[in-house]
Amino acid sequence: MKRYVLLIIGLAMTAIYLFPLYWMYLTALKSSTEIFQYPPTFWPSDTQWNFLEVWKSRDMGRYIWNSLLIATGVTILATTLGTGCAYVLSRVRNVWIEIALFAILMMQVLPSSLMVTPIFVMFNQIGLLASPRIAVILAQTAKVLPLYIVLCRATFVQVPRELEEAALVDGSSRIGAFFHIMLPLARNGILVTSVLIFLQSFGEYVYARSLIAKNELQTATVGLQTFMGPNANDWNGIMTYAAIYVTPILIVFMLLQRRIVSGLTAGALK
Amino acid sequence: MQGIIRTIRDGSGFDILLLGLALLYLIIFSAFPIVYNIIMSLQTVDMFTLTSFNRPFVGLQNYYDIFSQPVAGTIFWNTVKFVFLSIVFQLSIGFGLALFFQQDFPGASYLRGLFLAGWIMPALVVGAIWKWLFAGDFGVINYALTSLGIADDRIFWLSDPNVALYAVIIANIWLGIPFNMILLSVGLASIPRDVYEAAELDGAGAFERFRSITLPLMRAQLGAVISLGVIFTLQQFDLIAALTQGGPADSSNVAQYWSWQFSFQTYEISLGSAVSVLMIIFVIVVAAVYVRSTRHEHSY
């Protein structure tokens, strides 16, 4: 009996917490007159499906494409650079490795909004701002790479040393052992961490806003921000935009939820 | 030449190469910008000298200029309030939820997982949703408050200078709850069941068990969550950009947003770097304390 009372309280708390999400979907489905009704309605009386119109009129395809491009670039760059580094940090132990790990942990905490000033000036001077999406990829990779290394290292730590040593005894080279033994065994952790940094970069805002000047190269976050403007009242459209943007993120997250949670907690506390 | 190839293929050269690539990247795109930032904060950098490599040094003038800005005090206290209140509520609500979902009932871990939806969403989208929830005339929060009798009249959350900062803090608490809850849940799960059972046999009540077992055993975890909270709260930018943009009249402005405004809205880039240098130093100190404490935890 007590268990069911707890379940009901738990459901109620989850519902209260997720109310903003419900409100987003609800507003997206309401008609543009219904959203300004007071008192507000909690179920759409006249459901509107204007997803396609918002997608077209706000040119969302282009924004989402830019976001995807940047997130993909960041993920590829960070996994390429980070996986090997995470592996070495999990295997070798000496003072230098400790210092390197400490430095990486420190770089993980630098806020983008503070780093963007020197990065902007530096990129401007070396002419990188001429290809602004690449500039955002480079800056965002520097932001997520430390997190990727820390989480991936936690995965490599769990792979038994003996498996790699056995391969080396059998005459495999270090490179061979890394690619044929270590990578396949750490595959799940690498995959989940990559998804995590992909999702983070897909929602990146500061660098895109500050380094990209041309509207047609902007990302979905900046597109949403322009849509919101100073005197926005098309909340119907704004929430439709938001719903289109976050639904794929939420779906991916729900599918991988358990793994993301365990990877994340392992990394944050070790 | 042959030796180099062999060591990369088979020796410690392999380690150095893998480690070196990532570190080199981080040095170029993270460490160097920090150093460059410090240099810029001692120079005059604006639209005219932006691309020049030979800018005049002005000593600590920029730091003097920021502190003599009339809004400097407001922004400092806003930042303190923003961090302090966000963490107090994120932590207590997160801890409460972690304790609740620790109990044995059907679907507990599944429901707990649903909370993370708030954490994975882009903060700018979260800001957009909260902007609509907070809307003065048609916002659902005002409707709930007035119909429950908590507020007499509609509150203009985002345009009233007395409440704008609190509106941003509320949204930030919402964002931070899942992370706090999950990290604390992990800590709670690692406390052995039999400690509680023994205490219960000794006649300790629920509150007594919490005070004498849970709190002391969670101390390290709580310390970690608080330092991570400070770090994440100081990273918060998107939410402010979506909700109030620091306004009205800087009443909800915080240091990290102020720094960005200097550099990208008024183009007083050297002032932006000066604020940024001070904040980065603060964040790094917090992070160093946190990392030291967690590594210490592991060594015994």
Architecture of domain B61-293: Orthogonal Bundle (1.10)
Is the pLDDT at A177 greater than 90? The verdict is no
Nearest-by-CA chain A residue for B33:
A118
Q: Quick one: pLDDT band at residue A266, thresholds 50, 70, 90?
A: low
The pLDDT of residue A101:
86
Q: Quick one: pLDDT band at residue A264, thresholds 50, 70, 90?
A: low
Buried b (16+ CB within 10 A) or exposed e, A168-196: eeeebbbeebbeebbbebbeebbebbbbb
Task: Using a CB–CB cutoff of 8 Å, tell me whether B27 touches chain A.
Answer: no
- SS3 per-residue string spanning chain B: CHHHHHHHHHCHHHHHHHHHHHHHHHHHHHHHHHHHHHHHCCECCCCCCCCCCCCCECCCHHHHHHHCCCCHHHHHHHHHHHHHHHHHHHHHHHHHHHHHHHCCCCCHHHHHHHHCHHHHCCHHHHHHHHHHHCCCCCCHHHHHHHHCCCCCCCCCCCCCCCCHHHHHHHHHHHHHHHHHHHHHHHHHHCCCHHHHHHHHHCCCCHHHHHHHHHHHHCHHHHHHHHHHHHHHHHHCCHHHHHHCCCCCCCCCCCHHHHHHHHHHCCCCHHHHHHHHHHHHHHHHHHHHHHHHHHHHHHHC
> What 8-state DSSP symbol labels residue A40?
P
For residue B57, the cross-strand partners are B43
* Residue among A10, A85, A92 whose CB faces B105 most closely: A10
Task: Using a CB–CB cutoff of 8 Å, tell me whether B226 touches chain A.
Answer: no
User: What average pLDDT does chain A have?
Assistant: 87
Contact between A74 and A199 under an 8 Å Cβ cutoff? The reply is no
Distance from CA of A259 to the nearest CA of B (A): 11
Contact: A81, B21; criterion CB under 8 Å? yes
Nearest 5°: the CA angle B36, B39, B41 is 110
* Mean pLDDT (whole number) for A235-256: 89
Distance from CA of B133 to the nearest CA of A (A): 7
Q: Quick one: pLDDT band at residue B299, thresholds 50, 70, 90?
A: very low
Instruction: Name the B residues in 251-270 with CB < 8 Å from any A CB.
Output: 256-257, 259-260, 263-264, 269
Contact between B71 and B209 under an 8 Å Cβ cutoff? The reply is no
Contact: B36, A118; criterion CB under 8 Å? yes
Instruction: Supply the angle between the helices A60-91 and A95-107 in degrees, to the nearest 10.
Output: 160
Instruction: Name the B residues in 111-130 with CB < 8 Å from any A CB.
Output: 111, 113-118, 120-126, 128-130
Contact between B279 and A116 under an 8 Å Cβ cutoff? The reply is no
Is the pLDDT at B297 greater than 60? The verdict is no
Burial class (CB in 10 A: 0-12, 13-18, 19+), B205: exposed
C-alpha distances out from residue A145 to A150, A173, B120, Å: 9, 27, 18
Nearest-by-CA chain B residue for A196:
B120
H or E stretch covering A204: none
**pLDDT tens, position by position, B178-218:** 988 988 888 888 788 888 888 888 887 888 888 888 888 88
**pLDDT tens, position by position, B102-157:** 888 888 888 888 888 888 899 999 999 999 999 878 888 888 888 888 877 888 88
* Mean pLDDT (whole number) for A26-32: 86
- Coil vs helix vs strand at A57: helix
Contact: A121, B269; criterion CB under 8 Å? yes
Distance from CA of A108 to the nearest CA of B (A): 9
Task: Using a CB–CB cutoff of 8 Å, tell me whether B34 touches chain A.
Answer: yes
* Residue among A175, A228, A269 whose CB faces B131 most closely: A228
Report residue A265 as tokens: 């907690």
C-alpha distances out from residue A108 to A113, A125, A145, Å: 14, 25, 8
What ipTM did this prediction achieve?
Answer: 0.89
* Residue among A38, A202, A250 whose CB faces B138 most closely: A38
Report residue B77 as tokens: 């206290």
The pLDDT of residue B267:
87
Report residue B262 as tokens: 């200097």
- Coil vs helix vs strand at A131: coil
Quote the radius of gyration of chain B (alpha carbons, Å).
24
* Mean pLDDT (whole number) for A34-63: 83
A/B interface, count of CB pairs below 8 Å: 285
Sort out which chain B residues have CB atoms less than 8 A from A37's CB and list them. 138
The pLDDT of residue A44:
81
Which amino acid, one-letter code, is at B103? Q
**pLDDT tens, position by position, A52-64:** 888 888 888 899 9
Is the pLDDT at B300 greater than 50? The verdict is no
Report residue A240 as tokens: 């439709």
**How many C-beta atoms lie closer than 10 Å to residue A51's C-beta?**
16
Of B130, B154, B131, give the one whose Cα is nearest residue B142.
Answer: B154
Report residue B261 as tokens: 């405004």
**pLDDT tens, position by position, B48-72:** 777 777 788 888 888 998 898 888 9
C-alpha distances out from residue A72 to A3, A68, A198, Å: 44, 6, 7
Contact: B183, A268; criterion CB under 8 Å? yes
Is the pLDDT at B264 greater than 80? The verdict is yes
Is the pLDDT at A27 greater than 50? The verdict is yes
Is the pLDDT at B296 greater than 70? The verdict is no
The domains of chain B are located at 61-293
**pLDDT above 70 as % of chain B:** 95
Is the pLDDT at B166 greater than 90? The verdict is yes
**pLDDT tens, position by position, B215-233:** 888 887 888 888 888 888 9
* Mean pLDDT (whole number) for A220-235: 84
Cα B110 to Cα A93: distance, rounded to the nearest angstrom: 38
Contact: B224, A209; criterion CB under 8 Å? no
How many CA atoms lie less than 13 Å away from A269 in the CB half-sphere? Answer: 24
Q: Which pTM value belongs to this model?
A: 0.89
Distance from CA of A245 to the nearest CA of B (A): 8
The pLDDT of residue A267:
54
C-alpha distances out from residue B144 to A50, A87, B26, B129, B233, Å: 28, 52, 48, 16, 28
**pLDDT tens, position by position, A71-117:** 999 999 999 999 999 999 888 888 888 888 888 888 888 889 899 99
Dihedral over Cα of B30, A129, B39, B28: its sign: positive
**pLDDT above 90 as % of chain A:** 37
Contact between A91 and B19 under an 8 Å Cβ cutoff? The reply is no
Contact: B105, A24; criterion CB under 8 Å? no
Contact between B256 and B237 under an 8 Å Cβ cutoff? The reply is yes
Task: Using a CB–CB cutoff of 8 Å, tell me whether B9 touches chain A.
Answer: yes
Is the pLDDT at A2 greater than 50? The verdict is yes
Task: Using a CB–CB cutoff of 8 Å, tell me whether B36 touches chain A.
Answer: yes
* Residue among B30, B33, B103 whose CB faces A6 most closely: B103
Contact: A105, B291; criterion CB under 8 Å? yes
The pLDDT of residue A263:
65
The pLDDT of residue A265:
62
Instruction: Supply the angle between the helices A235-268 and A187-202 in degrees, to the nearest 10.
Output: 150
**How many C-beta atoms lie closer than 10 Å to residue A35's C-beta?**
22
Contact: B260, A270; criterion CB under 8 Å? no
Task: Using a CB–CB cutoff of 8 Å, tell me whether B48 touches chain A.
Answer: no
Task: Using a CB–CB cutoff of 8 Å, tell me whether B15 touches chain A.
Answer: yes
Question: Which of A5, A31, A93, A114 to mutate to probe the B interface, most B CBs <10 Å?
Answer: A114
Sort out which chain B residues have CB atoms less than 8 A from A76's CB and list them. none
Report residue A168 as tokens: 């080396």
Of B164, B157, B134, B166, give the one whose Cα is nearest residue B247.
Answer: B164
Cα B154 to Cα A39: distance, rounded to the nearest angstrom: 12
**pLDDT above 70 as % of chain A:** 96
* Residue among A85, A175, A242 whose CB faces B22 most closely: A85
